Structures are given as structure tokens and as C-alpha cells.
Amino acid sequence: MNYLTQKQFPRRAFLRGAGATLALPFLDAMVPAGRSRAMAATTDKTRLICIEEVHGLAGCNTQFGAPKHLFAPETTGRDFTLVPDNPLSTLSAYRDHMTIVSNTDVRNAEAFTLPEIGGDHFRSSAVFLTQSHPKQTQGSDLYAGTSLDQLYAKRAGQTTPLPSMQFCIENLDQAGGCTYNYSCAYTDSISWASPSEPLPMIRDPRIAFDMLFGSGNTPEERASRRDTRSSILDWIGGEVERVRRQLGAGDRQRIDKYMDNVREIERRIQAVEVHNRSGEARALPDAPAGVPDSFSEHMKLLFDLQVLALQTDMTRVITFKIGRDSQNRVFPDSGSNQPFHPASHHGNREDRVMEFNKICKYRVSQVAYLLEKMKTTMDGDASLLDKSMVIWGSPMADPNIHNHRRCPLALFGHANGALKGGVHLKAEDGTPMANVMLSLLNKLGLDDMKTFGDSTGAFAL
């Protein structure tokens, strides 16, 4: 079935071949007659990416991290300074798209009853985007809240092929019960379609690629194509050429750049799979073949796939869990040889706070790749970064004491004009992070929402 048979292409247009489907990015040919690209862009839905960092930040330690401004800058407003040791300094090139919100609390991640004490790592992730207190259980009677991303997906994602996509970096396939009588479902997902329905997350770039491009109708067909190492673009080559002949010069350049990008991402996934199936020892021996052993390369591949998904309007809502609580992974590229979880329990010693900060700075720096891709990916007359809202934060503050007060939160993008960027906002003491989340939901068009989680009112952004 071919959807490209009219002079004006639909916004969601596909090229189809034998078992492959390729959605197209925004083209001039998709603008209705009599309307400018700018006018067409005014009807765009804001894209949303939510990124959870686990274990908080060294900058949330009140004795050494906060006085060194390792998260919250010293001054508020637009004249704030990011010191070199601040992890956000690695994103300073995107300052105009950055909104730092400091001094907000995630109290629903705290223990409410005696049996819950000590279980912070195993309920925190479920709180991040729901701002609701999870029910302590290892059974099927899960209960948290509907997450921000899914509330938005119900409004903005029902007309896209994928209402939302959920990604993760670490192994989250741990069914059953975790520690402190919490189901692993609370630890393994940040997206909740309902208070009792956590959504699975994608770790393997190959799975995400096949979801986006329908690379084969059956598992056997997909395996056969991988064995021949052919590209999905080989399956739709004739369609590509037929469509190019119908486009103007500008659109042809956009198509060519997009196809090159798809092919390069596919090539990188194939290279990872070949290496990981070679029999050489792996740093992540239990990971699927499509998962790079390198944290940075894994992040980049998943970020590339996320940008493709947004660029082609396959989805408008993405969540990304970039760690798992209590993990002991080592990040050599950070300059520290300490495992993540033990390093986060720094004992309130200045030298160990700074050692943990090395890991924090490295992990935050990975987001620069996403922001650059979004800034340089045009969607009509504006970049994806201008049209998107990226929420980055943690439901934990100082991990040394499992504290959930004064948690880190930063926003990126202009959200189609809803966020101005270039500002540090400090909340009044005792302000729930849910207040900021409520304001963001309102800015995403959910104006009828007056409360969210434990919010006490909207936060002025």
C-alpha cells in the first residue's frame, strides 16, 4: 500500500517495501496549499522527552556539594553561572534552552511507614513522573499513579503510530520482588499508563529500530535480513527514487540527509551486533547483542533513535531511564573507578563527594548529544529542540542519606514557545516537585489539570 500518490503529501507519509516501512520527516511538500511552513508549524504538538537520573547528584549534598554549587547555581534569574565542576556545565552550549529549577522536594519517595524505611531505591523511580507514593507490595496489586508522560500521551499521542516510547539503559528485566518488599516493577519503569500499569522499557537499539521501521514482517524475515547485512533502505530503494522525483530541491536534500542518517544508525547497530556475537569477552555478558558495552555509545544510539521517532512523528512522547537504582556499574570514562552505587554513599566526606561528582558530571554530559541532535534537526521552520520539552531530573537528592529534599530538576527546549530558557529558578523551601510537573502539564495543553501528585499549586515558569 502506498500513501504517496498526491501532490501534497500527508504529514505522516510512509515509504513501504517488502517488510519495511519508513516514515518521512517534515517536508515542504507536506504544507497545505496557501499556508506557509510557519503557519503549518503553529499546529504542531510539542514533543516530550522525560529523562530520569537515579541516585541524585553530588550537588545535592548540603555540606559540600551545595556550597560548591555542583547543581544549583549561586544566583537565580538569567545571570547565573555554572561552575566548571557543575555537571550542568557540560550542557552550557544549550544555556538558551535551559531552565534550571532548584530546591523542590519529592516527598512521595520518602518512607511513610516503618516497614518502608530503607526502601528508597526501590520506589523512587515510580515516583519521578507520577509524584505519587507507591504501595509497598511484591504482588500484582501495584499502585502508584499515572505518569506525566502518559497523561500527555493520552492527549497528544493517540494519532501517532506509537502513542509513546519508553527506553532504558540498564537491564530492567527483573520480574517479581525486589528488596524491602517492593515489586521490581516500581524500580524498572518510570512510565505508568494507570496507577496499576507500569509500561515496559526498551533497552536494545535493534528492537527500537525494528519498531520504527518495520524491518521484516516476521522474526524469520528480520533474522534473514540481518544475516545478509542488507539495509532496510535496500528494500525500499525504488520507492525512494519515485518520491524524490516528485519533490523540490530542498525536500530532496532533506530526504537524502534523512536516509543517510537512517543508514548510519542501522550500520552502527549491525556493527555492535557483529562484535558482540564474535565470541570476544564482553563487559556486559548478559546484555542482548544489540546493546553496546560502552555506556556512551549505548546512550548515543538510543538518543539517535529517539530523534528519528520524533522527527518522523512516529511518536511525540518518550521516556528514558538512564540507570537502575543500586547499580554497581563502573564508568571509566568519568575519570573514576568507583562503582556507581557505592560512590553515591560518599559518607559526607569532601573527597568522596567530589569523586561521586565525577560520575555525575560524566553521566549528565551524555545529554549534550541529544540536545545537539535536536538543535540541528529542523522540523519546518524551527528545530526539534525549539519544538520540544525535555525534562531531566531525579527523585532522589543526596543519595548518601537517601534524601528526597532539594532534588535536581532541569528543563531543556522551548516547547513551542512555552519555555523561554536561559534561567535559574529557585523554589521556596518545601515546594513539591509536583508543582513544577503540574505547570509543565498545563504548558503541554492540559489546562484542565489543577492538581498532580502532591502538588500544592502551579509553579511559575
Is 26 buried (19+), middle (13-18) or exposed (0-12) by CB count in 10 A? buried
Spell out the domain ranges in the chain.
46-203+292-443, 213-290
pLDDT band at 6 (very low <50, low <70, confident <90, very high): very low
In this prediction, residue 173 carries a pLDDT of 63
Question: Could you give the CA distance from residue 27 to residue 12 in angstroms, rounded to a whole number?
Answer: 10
Query: Residues 105-132: what's their mean pLDDT?
Result: 97
Question: Could you give the CA distance from residue 292 to residue 298 in angstroms, rounded to a whole number?
Answer: 5
- Mean predicted lDDT score pLDDT of the chain: 91
Closest C-alpha among 69, 68, 71 to residue 55: 71
Q: Does residue 457 register a pLDDT over 80?
A: yes
Q: Does residue 17 register a pLDDT over 80?
A: no
Q: Which residue has the higher pLDDT, 13 or 107?
A: 107
SS (H, E, C) the chain: CCCCCCCCCCCCCEEEECCEEEECCCCHHHCCCCCCHHHHHCCCCCEEEEEECCCCCHHHCCCCCCCCCCCCCCCCECCCCCCCCCHHHHHHHHHHHEEEEEEEECHHHCCCCHHHCCCHHHHHHHHHCCCCCCCCCCCCCCCCCCCHHHHHHHHHCCCCCCCCEEEECCCCCCCCECHHHCEHHHHHCCCEEECCEECCCECCHHHHHHHHHCCCCCHHHHHHHHHHCCCHHHHCHHHHHHHHCCCCHHHHHHHHHHHHHHHHHHHHHHHHHHHHCCCCCCCCCCCCCCCCCCHHHHHHHHHHHHHHHHHCCCCCEEEEECCCCCCCCCCHHHCCCCCHHHHHCCCCCHHHHHHHHHHHHHHHHCHHHHHHHHHHCEECCEECCCCEEEEEECCCCCHHHCCCCCEEEEEECCHHHCCCCCEEEEEEEEEEHHHHHHHHHHHCCCCCCCCCCCCCCCCCC
In this prediction, residue 97 carries a pLDDT of 98
Q: What is the dihedral sign for C-alpha 139, 141, 145, 150? A: positive
Question: Could you give the CA distance from residue 229 to residue 215 in angstroms, rounded to a whole number?
Answer: 12
In this prediction, residue 233 carries a pLDDT of 80
In DSSP terms, 52 is beta-bridged to 321, 393
Q: Does residue 223 register a pLDDT over 90?
A: no
* pLDDT tens, position by position, 418-447: 999 999 999 999 999 999 999 999 999 999
In this prediction, residue 244 carries a pLDDT of 86
In this prediction, residue 219 carries a pLDDT of 63
Tally the residues of the chain: 461
Please give the CATH topology (third level) of the domain spanning 46-203+292-443.
Answer: Alkaline Phosphatase, subunit A (3.40.720)
Contact 341, 179 (CB under 8 A): no
**Total-model pTM:** 0.94
pLDDT band at 177 (very low <50, low <70, confident <90, very high): low
Is 368 buried (19+), middle (13-18) or exposed (0-12) by CB count in 10 A? middle
Q: What percent of the chain has pLDDT over 70?
A: 91
Closest C-alpha among 19, 83, 97, 55 to residue 411: 97
* pLDDT tens, position by position, 31-83: 876 555 554 544 579 999 999 999 999 999 999 999 999 999 999 999 999 99
In this prediction, residue 1 carries a pLDDT of 37
Q: Does residue 172 register a pLDDT over 90?
A: no
* pLDDT tens, position by position, 267-279: 999 999 999 999 9
Query: Residues 287-296: what's their mean pLDDT?
Result: 97
Query: Residues 351-355: what's their mean pLDDT?
Result: 98
In this prediction, residue 35 carries a pLDDT of 58
* pLDDT tens, position by position, 381-391: 999 999 999 99
Q: Which residue has the higher pLDDT, 334 or 218?
A: 334
Question: Could you give the CA distance from residue 443 to residue 411 in angstroms, rounded to a whole number?
Answer: 13
